Structure 1
Amino acid sequence: MTDPHATEAPLLVERHGPALHVTFNRPEARNAMTFEMYAGLAEAVRTLDADPALRVLVLRGAGGRAFIAGTDIAQFRGFTGEDGVAYEARIDEVLGVVENAQKPVLAIIDGHCVGGGLGIAACADVRIAAPNASFSVPIARTLGNTLSASTLARLVGVLGRARVASMLLTARAVKAEEALTSGFLTEVAESAEALDERAAYWTDRLASGAPLTQWSIKENLRRIAARAAGDPVDDSDVVSRVYGSADFAGAVEAFLGKTDMTWTGK
């Protein structure tokens, strides 16, 4: 069957109600990322954060074979050591933008999630997958390149040091069930066909939550990750913004009055 996205742009950014959908759309290359696609992903996050009507970012690969199969290898031709440093810095910057999105990010993973694709998925808040999903960074067997310390830290944060070490040192893939057991995945759908239904469920659930509560959880998780070991986290500005909001005051009255609450993010 012909892929409906086959003749479209390599990165599709589409609004569907309160959700901004980003589709990595190079199915013929298993959605391998070009530098322009990385830049477009970062721009999509900025669009998400700037628009109060948008409530959730949804990331997905086209074609059913891969979420993202890493960075397009053709872009590495002629690389020098300095080019490698600049490349890893660019990837760190893009992943930082995704990781620091002010609103929830959902990754829907169908097929292979490799290299830079795993880095992008690691920056999502909720990750769901089809049973055929697999996760790997096989650079010790393929290109012989490396990851920045920042990217490694992101992977360790969601997969654990021992698992990341075994994945990268042996170039092994983690299957969907292991990723679920590790806590990396929120859910594995019963089948690839059921993934769309579960994706819609999680998109709606994230889009309907209290925006300031969601922001506050993401912000304090960032602060916890960035602190030095043992240091306290100063969250007074975050707590004050949420408890002083019109949303909180309105929700209290709605709860006590047994009426529905409409969140405004203010």
Structure 2
Amino acid sequence: MTEHLVTEVRGAALHVTFNRPEARNAMTFEMYQGLAEACTRVDEDPSLRVLVLRGAGGRAFVAGTDIAQFRGFTGEDGVEYEKKIDAVLGALAAVKKPVVAVIDGHCVGGGLGIASCADIRVGSSKASFSVPIAKTLGNTLSANTLRRLVRAFGEPRAASMLLMARRVDAQEALLSGFLTEVAEDLDEAAERVVAEVASGAPLTQWSIKENLRRLNAGGEVDDSDVVSAVYGSEDFAGAVEAFLTKEPMEWTGR
């Protein structure tokens, strides 16, 4: 990790902070790589239950990719860049544990792509969402990133955001379902949401994420391996007994 991407373990959560407040947390390629490494870390560490993403400074979650990195780009460079971003966002979307995005201020371009890969998003009343490339750089999005935005906002809203460079405020994001909650005390809301997620059944959470991933891939879904893994787990057997005997359950993820 670098000074621009800070990681910290708090309880059962790995917190990743995009830490370039002077640049509204615009992403460098090094920061994208650090995010991919955080995804691997949270999946490989059984003590970690949640991945939490947040921007530093209170002005932005992430204000896109650092534009200075685009100088001298060719068409081939653009293809390679979008492939790299697809790989990082694909890794984030594939994290087996819940991902929570805490959004204060602007969530723009690549930042919105990152937030769209989260499972749960909470924001402040200052949160806003846009991809203004039609009026700024004149670049484009990969089909994979576009598909995530369409799933997150619905096609009509995503199209208007992109074609008109339209900004969506916190209340519209809440009504659209993109945000789970708009909170005045964002720190308190984030702590509460993370605690609720971390207290849930790990294999249930994994199974929901995995089957959603398969459904989003299209076609018929064979979920027999997922269902078998959950119903055949020590957690399920223990939870049944705990429920019937009215004893507390401690999840192990096994």
- Structure 2 regions of 5+ residues with no counterpart? none
Structure 1 residue 54: Cα displacement = 0.1
Aligned-partner SS, 1:23: strand
Structure 2 residue corresponding to 1:262, chosen from 237, 250, 254:
250
- Return the alpha-carbon distance in structure 2 between the equivalents of residues 23 and 155 of structure 1: 22
What residue is the counterpart of 1:4 in the other structure? none
- Return the alpha-carbon distance in structure 1 between the equivalents of residues 181 and 26 of structure 2: 24
What residue is the counterpart of 2:145 in the other structure? 151
Structure 2 residue corresponding to 1:216, chosen from 188, 201, 207:
207
Matches within 5 A, 1:53-92: 53-92=47-86
Per the normalisation by structure 2, the TM-score is 0.99
Structure 1 residue 233: Cα displacement = 1.1
Aligned-partner SS, 1:139: helix
Aligned-partner SS, 2:72: coil
What residue is the counterpart of 1:235 in the other structure? 223
Aligned-partner SS, 1:249: helix
CA displacement, residues 115-166 of structure 1 (integer Å, 9 cap, x when unaligned) = 0000000000000000010000000010000001110001001101111110
Indicate the percent of aligned positions where both proteins have the same amino acid. Answer: 72
- Return the alpha-carbon distance in structure 2 between the equivalents of residues 250 and 45 of structure 1: 29
- Return the alpha-carbon distance in structure 2 between the equivalents of residues 161 and 211 of structure 1: 32
Per the normalisation by structure 1, the TM-score is 0.94
What residue is the counterpart of 1:98 in the other structure? 92
Structure 1 residue corresponding to 2:130, chosen from 130, 133, 136:
136
CA displacement, residues 223-253 of structure 1 (integer Å, 9 cap, x when unaligned) = 000023xxx3100000000000000000000
- Return the alpha-carbon distance in structure 1 between the equivalents of residues 181 and 17 of structure 2: 20
- Return the alpha-carbon distance in structure 2 between the equivalents of residues 63 and 76 of structure 1: 25
- Return the alpha-carbon distance in structure 1 between the equivalents of residues 218 and 174 of structure 2: 27
What residue is the counterpart of 2:190 in the other structure? 199
Please say if 1:116 is aligned against 2:110: yes
What residue is the counterpart of 1:182 in the other structure? 176
- Structure 1 regions of 5+ residues with no counterpart? 1-7
- Return the alpha-carbon distance in structure 2 between the equivalents of residues 149 and 235 of structure 1: 26
Report the number of matched residues. 253
- Return the alpha-carbon distance in structure 2 between the equivalents of residues 227 and 240 of structure 1: 22
Aligned-partner SS, 1:135: strand
